[in-house]
Amino acid sequence: MNFIENKSESNSANEDTQTYIIKPIYKNTCYEEEIWSNMLSNKKCVSIGVITNFRWGKCQVELTENEKQNISEMDTINLTEIGLSCPELFSGYPYDIEIKNKETYSKEEIQEIKRLIYVSDNEERDYDTDNDNCIIDDLNDNGWDLDDTIYEIVNGCNIRHIDEEGEGEDESEDESEDEEYESSDD
């Protein structure tokens, strides 16, 4: 059973929700995936995922007690699915670009997709594997549209309740943890 099913079941039971902070257990386990779409010259639609890995992050969510329990047992937490607000992500770096349903495209179509990703329309050169740097401005210039952004934490999370003043129940421990990750050079 996925979290969305659990969320609708618990909301239909009119359980009270509370605000929590969700943070990863380990460093480098927060991901953002931007889903971009475009149309090839043959009018075939294509989607890509531009994935950024973050050293550290946290966000606020409204959860029932049942939802909190379900999430605390998950290995991969799709924060977008559970209705995150105010994601705070630190020290992001490009991780990967994934062509969705890659196996459905011909070799020529893959080449065109890579050109649309890696070569600005302003440049007059072909795609070169030595230059695999995706620049978001190039995606915009080349007609890509941002369709969605998905945030995930992998390898488990910590969930901490926030009281009515917006303070966490164990704020002092949380602050020292943030300082450690923000100042560390790992």
Residue 161: phi and psi, rounded to 5, are: -70, 145
pLDDT of residue 147: 96
Query: What does the pLDDT average to over 58-79?
Result: 92
Residue range(s) defining the domain that contains residue 103: 3-167
- Please list, in sequence order, all residues whose beta carbon lies within 8 angstroms of the beta carbon of residue 156, skipping any fewer than 6 positions away: 24, 25, 26, 74, 75, 77
pLDDT band at 5 (very low <50, low <70, confident <90, very high): very low
Task: Using a pLDDT cut of 70, give the percent of the chain over it.
Answer: 72
Give the other-Cβ count within 10 Å of 41's Cβ: 9
On whether residue 38 sits in a domain, the answer given is: yes
SS3 sequence, 112-123?
A: HHHHHHHCCCCC
pLDDT tens digits along 118-146: 887 655 555 555 555 667 777 888 899 99
- By the 8 A CB rule, do 65 and 15 touch? yes
- Predicted structure pTM score: 0.74
Domain count, the chain: 1
Note whether 46 and 113 are within 8 A (CB): yes
Q: Let me know if residue 99 belongs to a domain.
A: yes
pLDDT per residue as tens digits for the range 93-108: 888 899 999 999 999 9
